[in-house]
Amino acid sequence: MRATIEPTGLTRRIIPCLDVASGRVVKGVQFKNLTDHGDPTEAAGRYAAEGADEIVFLDITAAPERRDTDLDWVRRTAEQVFIPLSVGGGVRSVDDGRKLLLAGADKLGINTAAVAEPELLTRLAERFGSQCVVLSVDAKRRDDGTAGNRPSWEVVTHGGRSPTGLDALEWIEEGIERGAGEILLTSIDSDGTKEGYDLELLRRASALSPAPVIASGGAGTLEHLGDALDTGAAAVLAASIFHQSTYSVGTVKEYLDRRYPIRTQTGVTA
């Protein structure tokens, strides 16, 4: 038994994110200039072996091109990778969600479709449970607060190309009320820059959200990941630092383990 009784042993999660386009892992700065980073199943398997707590797939071509998410790579991944898999992009109906879950996804990421039709969140939660429904919010600063105003963020969709007029924090609250079980919060300003997460956005979102907030966009150093968890985020998501082998998931966990409850894999990996 530990000396202190903790109310929970729940760990903070480290989540590699794989942007997928046409069945390949891709990455670009602010969703532009995409470069090829290999096979999704292989990458997910490698990260799971390193200790990733979950894998998030975002099919970033799905919404603008109005095509179904290619499910073969989801199926292949679910046959080989036995940690939670979240798949977003192109989920526009309960039937789209059902197909993804049957292919092996454990969670559905909903972004553009939820903005267009907020009731979709409720229908998905009623059918599959809130634990399946991740509201993915892409937020862009519209006021940096330098003029004395409170900073605010606007929800953008279609990979950052379309403004919506929605306030990001209000949208998060509404999304949870409608049935979202988790919030994947991406700063479009920071995404791909490796200059750190938008900590103020994360702090504000974590303070108001009863659902777990997954920090996304801007990870470049180990300190950035720790800073994001300091805001109260339940999980940190990163892509470039893992794809470019700046850090392994194991290295990240070793670093964060000093400050946070982290799942380590003692005795499992050789």
Partner 1 sequence: MTGPATSRERGQPARIQRAPATAPLARSKVGATVIDAGVGNIGNLVRALRHLGAVVEITCDPATIRASRCLVLPGVGAFRPPRERLRGAPEKAIRGALGDGATLLGICIGYQLLFDSSEEFGTTDGLGLLGGRVTELPGGVPLPHIGWNRVFGVAEHPLLEGSTEDDHYYFVHSFAPEGVPEDSVLGRCRHGRSFPAITGHGRVLGTQFHPEKSGAAGLRLLRNYLAWAGDLAAGVDGGNIATAAGD
Residues designated catalytic: 19, 138
> Least distance from C-beta 225 to partner 1, angstroms?
17
Distance CA 202, CA 233 (A): 7
- Using the minimum distance from each CB to partner 1, give the nearer residue, 78 or 238: 78
- Asked whether the beta carbons of 149 and 90 are under 8 A apart, the reply is no
User: Phi and psi (nearest 5°) for 139?
Assistant: -115, 135
Residues forming contacts to partner 1 in the complex (CB under 8 A) are: 1, 5-11, 13, 48, 53, 78-80, 82-84, 101-102, 104, 106, 128-131, 181-182, 210, 212, 234, 263-270
Distance CA 154, CA 216 (A): 16
> Least distance from C-beta 128 to partner 1, angstroms?
8
User: Phi and psi (nearest 5°) for 269?
Assistant: -80, 145
- Using the minimum distance from each CB to partner 1, give the nearer residue, 33 or 131: 131
> Least distance from C-beta 17 to partner 1, angstroms?
17
- Using the minimum distance from each CB to partner 1, give the nearer residue, 147 or 268: 268
- Asked whether the beta carbons of 82 and 112 are under 8 A apart, the reply is no
User: Phi and psi (nearest 5°) for 187?
Assistant: -85, 115
> Least distance from C-beta 64 to partner 1, angstroms?
29
Beta-bridged to residue 167, according to DSSP, are 154
Q: Using alpha carbons only, what angle is made at residue 123 by residues 84 and 96, rounded to the nearest 5 degrees?
A: 60
- Using the minimum distance from each CB to partner 1, give the nearer residue, 3 or 5: 5
